Amino acid sequence: MLDSLARLGRVGLAILASLGRAHLLLVGILRGLPSMLVRPRLLLAQIYGVGVLSLLIIVVSGLFVGMVLGLQGYYVLSQFGAAESLGVMVAASLVRELGPVVTALLFAGRAGSALTAEIGLMKATEQLSGLEMMAVDPVKRVLTPRFFAGLISMPLLAALFSAIGVIGGWFVGVGLLGIDDGAFWGQMQNKIDFDEDLVNGVIKSLVFGLVVTWIALYEGYDATPTSAGVSRATTRTVVQSALAILGLDFILTALMFGG
Amino acid sequence: MATAQSKQASVTLPREERSGMTDEQMLAKVRGLRFYHGDRCIFDGIDLDIQRGRITAIMGPSGTGKTTLLKLISGQLHADAGTVEVDGQSIQELSRDALYQLRIRMGMLFQSGALLTDLNVFENVAFPIREHAKLPESVLRKLVLIKLEAVGLRGAAALMPSQLSGGMARRVALARAIALDPMMIMYDEPFTGQDPISMGVLVSLIRQLNDASEMTSIIVSHDVTETTSIADYLYIIANGKIMAEGTPQEVAANESDWVRQFMQGEPDGPVHYHYPAQTLEQDLLQSVCH
């Protein structure tokens, strides 16, 4: 009984210590902002790695999610004689929910895991220690540009996901199922609100970008510097990011649209 | 008997009196260093001096904390007790900025090379210069090529780290370590995993660089032959203590069984070949019973 309590206490303390280290790391990353702004090329290189190289998976996934939404939406709406509202349904689903959430999940799987593996391997191969010994702060030099690259890339990728998804929905609804083109776009323009839908969607994707990139960088930086340690850290990044995204999505949705 | 008494007497003298070195002659000074890794004691109150302009080697079996000692000297780790001074500055008391200023004057060659894998050889060597010296690109290029020439790899400037052999990677790392003309350079197991030619190249490079640039070198290694061939002074550490010290000749003449076993690479002696365990018969009988 006492042993179980002691084990529980140890686990609790380890979690608290880990949270503390993660927050200290975030402060260190944010402190690196001024030196990163002096050398924007570091940021641009990371936006390419984190954002541009994620384009393919985001575009293809967005297209298919939009097409599935078109098919499913048409099936439900046509039963109520409201098939003309397919454009609103597809756009609202994408902009409010699926765009930020699915993009963040894909971003965690593609860019987040890559960031953790890269930082973890830099630690395992003593590259981070090497920077320290060259009097270069690895947090400012390596982590800060990657953090802000994630923060900038995520809303742009989510916007692209939603835009491509709408096109996918239009292709299925208008192109294949014969919904009126004007009704599809017109109802969408009337019903989708800039502040209520678009801005809230962007806020969600910004929050998800921050959390996913933070988790990915922390897990890499805190990884045990062995191949097994880096592997475990990469897995933790994907699992923790997915849970954080879905949990935060509920909280943000309740705050934004809960009335 | 008289000899044993004089040895004992010399050990009880303060280190400054034993070595006869003044503070100006010492670049690094370690006193009463204690360091624990979890519950395990890595260093149990050791003292050592690194003399300016010399090659000092720290040797000992694997896992005795040689690399840890380099990390303590360079401020990557902090001692649990005792002091570490480098160039008159106490490492533990330095602010982060002051420590970084000191590190600009220290170079370190990591066991793995620690080259940045996304930069080519030229950019790896240029990296510390770009970070700390605002030089025109043309001057920087010449400087980097001179450093690469010193390690014989000017022709490899455009290669990526993944295209280098282990020996070449270590020489590039050496060129990077000397890029800012440091006062001191620390070598972490520089000869491990090298073929005989690379080993010979590294041995002569370390000696040449030390003498030509009037640097101070600390080599951490367990390669006895190579290290003793270039070191001016040796420390042998094990079990958290300094087991022997002196010039290579003095250490080679040390009468301690432990030191003799280490220096001559004997498989059994005070350090047992077998890891502590119950007898083989007991183990075999247990497996039969199970």
pLDDT tens string A48-104: 999 999 999 999 999 999 999 999 999 999 998 888 899 999 999 999 999 999 999
- Per-window interface: A 109-128 vs B, CB < 8 A: 125-127
The CA distance from A126 to the nearest CA of chain B, in Å, is 5
Give the per-residue pLDDT at B283.
Answer: 86
Q: Is the pLDDT of residue B270 over 90?
A: no
Q: With an 8 Å Cβ cutoff, are B107 and A137 in contact?
A: no
- The pair of three-digit structure tokens given for residue B228, joined into one six-digit string: 């003793």
Rounded CA-CA distance B289/B282 in Å is 11
* A186 lies in some domain: yes
Report pLDDT for A6: 92
| Domain count along chain A | 1
Q: Residue B287: pLDDT band by 50, 70, 90 thresholds?
A: low
A176-214 burial, b at 16+ Cβ within 10 Å, e below that, comes to ebebeeebbeebbeeebeeeebbebbbebbbbbbbbbbb
Using only C-alpha atoms, what is the Rg of chain B? 21
Give backbone dihedrals phi and psi of B106, rounded to 5 degrees, phi first: -120, 140
Q: Is residue A19 part of a domain?
A: no
Report pLDDT for B146: 93
ipTM exceeds 0.90: no
| Residue A39 maps to a domain | no
Instruction: Test B131 with A136 for CB contact under 8 angstroms.
Output: yes
Q: By CA distance, what is B116's nearest residue in A?
A: A127
| DSSP code for B100 | H
Q: Are A168 and A121 in contact (CB under 8 A)?
A: no
Instruction: Judge whether A29 lies within some domain.
Output: no
Mean pLDDT check: name the lowest of B76-80, B152-156, B224-228, B286-290. B286-290
Contacts of A126 in chain B (CB under 8 A): 110-112, 114
Q: Determine, yes or no, domain membership for A209.
A: yes
Q: Burial letters for B238-268: b for 16+ Cβ neighbours within 10 Å, e otherwise?
A: bebebbbbeebeebbebeeebbbbbbeeeee
Would you call A231 exposed, middle or buried from its count of C-beta atoms within 10 A (0-12, 13-18, 19+)?
middle
Distance CA B184, CA B75 (A): 14
Residue B222 has a pLDDT of 85
Q: Is residue A2 part of a domain?
A: no
Residue A190 lies in a domain: yes
Q: How far apart are CA B4 and CA A27, in angstroms?
A: 58
Q: Which domain holds residue A189?
A: 44-252
Residue of chain B minimizing CA distance to A121:
B117
Kind plus residue range of the DSSP H or E element containing B235? strand B233-238
Spatial distance between the Cα atoms of A202 and A144, rounded to a whole number of angstroms: 22
Q: Is the residue at A124 inside a domain?
A: yes
Residues 6+ apart with CB under 8 A from A147: A29, A213, A214, A217
C-alpha separations of B75 from A100, A128, A129, B95, B128 in Å = 44, 14, 11, 11, 18
Chain A positions touching B111 (Cβ under 8 A) are: 126
Rounded mean pLDDT, A24-46: 93
Q: Are B47 and B83 in contact (CB under 8 A)?
A: no
Picking from B101, B112, B127, the nearest residue to A134 by CB comes out as B127
Quick check: B288 pLDDT over 70?
no
Q: Is the pLDDT of residue B54 over 50?
A: yes
φ, ψ of residue A150 to 5 degrees: the values are -65, -40
The pLDDT confidence band at residue B7, using thresholds 50, 70 and 90, is very low
Of A125, A126, A135, the CB nearest to B103: A135
**Interval B233-267: pLDDT, tens:** 999 998 888 989 999 999 888 888 888 888 887 77
In this prediction, residues A109-129 reach a mean pLDDT of 95
The overall longest dimension of chain A from CA atoms, in Å, is 70
CB-CB under 8 Å, B101 with A133: no
pLDDT in tens, A229-241: 999 999 999 999 9
Over residues B3-27, mean pLDDT: 57
Q: Which residue has the higher pLDDT, A258 or A248?
A: A248
